[in-house]
Amino acid sequence: MYQNLAHFYRNFGFTIGSKIMFINQLVNKQNKEKDEVFKECVEDYNLMTKKSFESLWKRYFQVADDIKAISL
């Protein structure tokens, strides 16, 4: 059994799209700020590097309005 979505991604892989959707879930459904999302993605679950997070955070905000309606 998987503890949470981050645990699932860590075991099965994490594509660019799923990384952006994971960030979307943390921001929109769990109302987390950038520093909280960073802590969860980089420090707590080791899903990506700091450099990767910064790049994806910028990319997320480029498409955020387009994916708000998408639910996981």
pLDDT (tens digit per residue) in 32-65:
999 999 999 999 999 999 999 999 999 999 988 8
Contact 60, 70 (CB under 8 A): no
Tokens of 44: 């707590």
Contact 20, 48 (CB under 8 A): no
pTM (whole model) above 0.75:
yes
Contact 38, 47 (CB under 8 A): no
